[in-house]
Structure 1
Amino acid sequence: MRLNQNTLLLGKKVVLVPYTSEHVPRYHEWMKSEELQRLTASEPLTLEQEYAMQHSWREDADKCTFIVLDAQKWQAQPGVTEESCMAGDVNLFLTDLEDPTVGEIEVPPITWDRRDGASSCCLPFLSSPLGGVTKLGLTKFEAKIGQGNEPSIRMFQKLHFEQVAVSSIFQEVTLRLIMNEPVQQWLLEQTSHVEEQPYRDGSAEPC
């Protein structure tokens, strides 16, 4: 989605940057994992196909993707590449044709699951204008998670998502967050430290 191509979100633990071609090689290595393919219902791609996918996601109007960088690594090593600081990604999909106010959020368990950083990825994303409330007119967020993925389910529940459906066919649960005024206020309180800055070829630095 071109909407976020010039936006960088700075937090204490993570930095969210647009998914660019610079990030593709490491992302491709991540996606070789059979476990990750299973958890994300993805098929293995060649590196060339991964570059094509990145370009497609950048252009598609129904996908908004940020790469998550480890802020500590980013700060500790001046001049470090974004690729070496990559810790995961967070994605928003606009796939409900019957209800354009719903966005599906996805946080693949790449490295954050070992250091409890998933909520650090989601909070800046949800609270920013690019989270969809302001610029996309979204009022509801959903997360579809495998029934056996208890850590992810608990994480979204801590973010005030509530379970609304269970699919025995797909072996997944659907959790939903309604962006009412109390929830928006809570998100703002949790992310008061987050800064939104222009993204210029990875040159910005986190707070």
Structure 2
Amino acid sequence: MLINKNTIIHGEKVVLVPYEAEHVPKYHSWMQSEELLQLTGSERLELEEEYANQISWRVDEKKCTFIVLDKNVYLTSKHDEIASMVGDVNLFLNDDDNVHSAEVEIMIAETDARGKGFGKEAVLMMMKFGIDILKLQEFTAKIGFSNTKSLGLFRKLGFEEVSKSDVFQETSLKLLVTEFLRNDLQKQTYELIKTTN
């Protein structure tokens, strides 16, 4: 999505940066993992296909992607984004019947970065971006039955189950944007959005 091409979002634990060509080789290496392919419902791609995806996602107005960086590594490595990469977070505006709804998706790919609150903070920051910048009024998530950690995270964030698909082996969840949610996000992610020139 072009709207986030110059946007960097700083949190307490993570930094979100736009998905650029320089990130592709490390992202591609993550997606060789059978575990990550299963958890994200993705297909294995060749490196050239991954580069093509990055380019197409950059201009697709229905896909908003940020790479999640470990803020501590980012700051101590003099802003080395590749060394700091731990995952990605996405908003997919796929609901043609509701342009103010987006599916949110998080992946913490680096195993030693899991369990540190990076995923939770990245999702909260992405939701704030979606509300403030994209004017979203609803978030959805589709999570595989086996991905119990993600299911637990989204439920803790207030998402409620709306359906289950035995065919796709996934649970669909939804969260409406309320004033309470807006205020809560404002408190948790205050002054995190920084736009570069």
Report the Cα distance in structure 1 between the residues aligned to 2:114 and 2:80, rounded to whole angstroms. Answer: 22
Q: C-alpha separation between the residues in 2 aligned to 1:136 and 1:114?
A: 29
Partner secondary structure for residue 107 of structure 1: strand
Measured in 1, the distance between the counterparts of 2:135 and 2:192 equals 21
> Match of 1:26?
26
Q: Which residues of 2 match residues 111-190 of structure 1 at below 5 A?
A: 111=110, 112-128=113-129, 131=130, 133-190=131-188
The residue that corresponds to 1:95 in the other structure is: 94
Secondary structure, in 3 states, of the residue corresponding to 2:114? helix
SS at match of 2:184: helix
- Tell me, which stretches of 5 or more residues in structure 1 are unaligned? 201-207
> Mean alpha-carbon deviation: is it higher for 108-117 or for 98-107?
108-117
Give the number of equivalent residue pairs.
195
Tell me whether 167-176 or 64-73 shows the greater mean CA deviation.
167-176
8 Å CA contact 1:15, 1:70 repeated in 2:
yes
How far apart, CA to CA, are the structure 1 residues paired with 2:194 and 2:132?
A: 17
Does the CA contact (< 8 Å) of 2:87 and 2:107 recur in 1?
A: yes
1:136 and 1:197 map into 2 onto residues whose CA distance is 16
Q: TM-score, normalised by structure 2?
A: 0.93
Deviation at 1:93, TM superposition (A): 0.4
TM-score normalised according to structure 1 size: 0.89
Match of 1:196 in 2: 193
**Counterpart residue identity of residue 192, structure 2:** E
| Pairwise CA distance, 1:45 | 1.2
Residue 104 (structure 1) aligned with residue 84 (structure 2):
no
Aligned to 2:47: 47
**Residue 74 of structure 1, CA deviation:** 1.1
Structure 2 unmatched ranges of 5 or more: none
Describe the SS at the equivalent of 2:98.
coil
CA contact (8 A) 2:86 2:108 kept: no
Give CA-to-partner distance per residue, 1:90-139, whole Å, 9 cap, x none.
000011112222100000241343433210111111112xx1x2443321
SS at match of 1:153: helix
Per-residue deviation, 1:196: 1.6
In structure 2, distance between residues paired with 1:27 and 1:107: 14
Task: Give the aligned residue type for 1:30.
Answer: W
Deviation at 1:166, TM superposition (A): 1.2
Q: Specify the code of the residue in structure 1 equivalent to 2:62.
A: D
Q: 1:18 to 1:161 in 2, by over 3 A?
A: same
Amino acid at match of 1:178: L
Residue number in structure 2 paired with 1:205: none
Give % identity: 44
CA distance in 1, matches of 2:47, 2:157: 35
Q: Determine the C-alpha separation between the residues in 2 that align with 1:28 and 1:149.
A: 21
Matched residues in 2 for 1:187 and 1:170: separation? 31
Corresponding residue for 1:203?
Answer: none
The structure with higher relative contact order (CA 8 Å, sep 6+) is 1
Whether the 8 Å CA contact 1:92–1:103 is kept in 2: the answer is yes
Is the 8 Å Cα contact of residues 36 and 109 (structure 1) preserved in structure 2?
Answer: no
Equivalent residues of 2:64, 2:91 under 8 A apart? yes
Q: Which residue of 1 aligns with 2:35?
A: 35
Q: Describe the shift of the 1:134–1:190 C-alpha distance in structure 2 as closer, same or farther (beyond 3 A).
A: closer
Does the CA contact (< 8 Å) of 2:13 and 2:70 recur in 1?
yes
